Amino acid sequence: MSSTVLFSPSSALFLTNPSPLAKGRAAVAVRCSTGPAMSVSQHEEEGEREGSAMVGRRRALASTAAVCGASVLGFAGHGLAATQGLLAGRIPGLSEPDEYGWRTYRRPDDKSGGHGVGWSPIIPYSFKVPDGWDEVPVSIADLGGTEIDLRFANPKEGRLFVIVAPVRRFADDLDDATIEKIGSPEKVIGAFGPEVIGENVEGKVLSSATEEHSGRTYYQFELEPPHVFITATAAGNRLYLFSVTANGLQWKRHYKDLKQIAESFRVV
């Protein structure tokens, strides 16, 4: 079952301060699946902070090979198409629960990503979520534009999203990128953290760690406020940012599970 919701990109529902790019554009018709996932209004209300982050400029990565661009994320694409390709929730990627009630999501090899003509296929990634988390459709009206590859949520526990961005947006010579080539943990969180939380991360990083799995390095961060875990890595010509967040009550009740979700992220 589906419903159509009309909204303008300049609406206060999405932007605290309307973007100049949004002025004068027509309203967009968005086709949203209804079901156990979060409703449009609920999703936008709870995702307002992370949504506003997507319109900020990237900060420069000083003294590294990665030079961040100043292009604005969001409202990419043409026409009034509502959903990115063969979108999220339409192609199976979630396993059956294991003995502990956790499911593994693996990005399907043939999933359409809406990531631009000529871009190479996305190297799949995976993560684990407790039973009860569901995929949330991502539309072209999402403020993350085509760089938001996936959203998941459980209305009672929290939500997550995956950003998959082309490395060439930051540097021209990183076709075989690693997160180390993009920058140190401090520079990566300083440059990309604001896109996740919508504000400067200075004084908000509670902890950071560097992990290696199957030869790939992952930077892991915990920020507060707001409550969020961020995992960052790179592969091929892509930068991956995995964000897990929740409101204060959810964070307190489900902290252990939210942290486990964040630490389960892998590029496969």
pLDDT in tens, 130-160: 999 999 988 777 765 568 899 999 999 999 9
Q: Which two tokens stand for residue 108?
A: 């399907």
Rounded to whole angstroms, how far apart are CA atoms 140 and 76? 6
Rounded to whole angstroms, how far apart are CA atoms 111 and 90? 9
Q: Taking the CA atoms of 228, 186, 196 and 214 in sequence, report the sign of the dihedral they define.
A: negative
pLDDT in tens, 73-125: 332 333 323 334 444 444 479 999 999 999 999 999 888 664 443 456 889 99
Q: Which two tokens stand for residue 205?
A: 């990083």
With 70 as the cut, is the pLDDT of residue 239 above it? yes
Q: Please count the other Cβ atoms lying within 10 Å of the Cβ belonging to residue 177.
A: 24
Q: Which two tokens stand for residue 233?
A: 């890595």
DSSP 176-206: T--HHHH--HHHHHHHHHHHHHSS--TTTEE
Q: Across the strands, what pairs with 267? A: 125
Rounded to the nearest 5°, which phi and psi values hold at 260?
-65, -40
pLDDT in tens, 30-66: 343 334 444 444 444 444 444 444 434 344 443 333 3
Q: What is the pLDDT of residue 32?
A: 39
Which domains are delineated in the chain?
94-267 (3.40.1000.10)
Q: What is the pLDDT of residue 61?
A: 43
**Residue 198 banded pLDDT, cuts 50, 70, 90:** confident
Q: Please count the other Cβ atoms lying within 10 Å of the Cβ belonging to residue 132.
A: 14
Q: Give every CB contact of residue 184 below 8 A, 6+ residues apart in sequence.
A: 64
Rounded to whole angstroms, how far apart are CA atoms 214 and 260? 18
Q: Please count the other Cβ atoms lying within 10 Å of the Cβ belonging to residue 67.
A: 14
Half-sphere exposure of 168 (CA within 13 A, CB side): 8
Rounded to the nearest 5°, which phi and psi values hold at 49?
-65, -45
Regarding beta strands 148-154 and 158-166, do their DSSP bridges make them parallel or antiparallel, or are they unpaired?
A: antiparallel
Q: Please count the other Cβ atoms lying within 10 Å of the Cβ belonging to residue 89.
A: 19
Q: Give every CB contact of residue 78 below 8 A, 6+ residues apart in sequence.
A: none
Q: How large is the average pLDDT for residues 193-208?
A: 93
Per this entry, what is the length of the chain? 268
Residue 17 backbone class (left: φ over 0; alpha: ψ -120 to 50; beta: rest)? beta
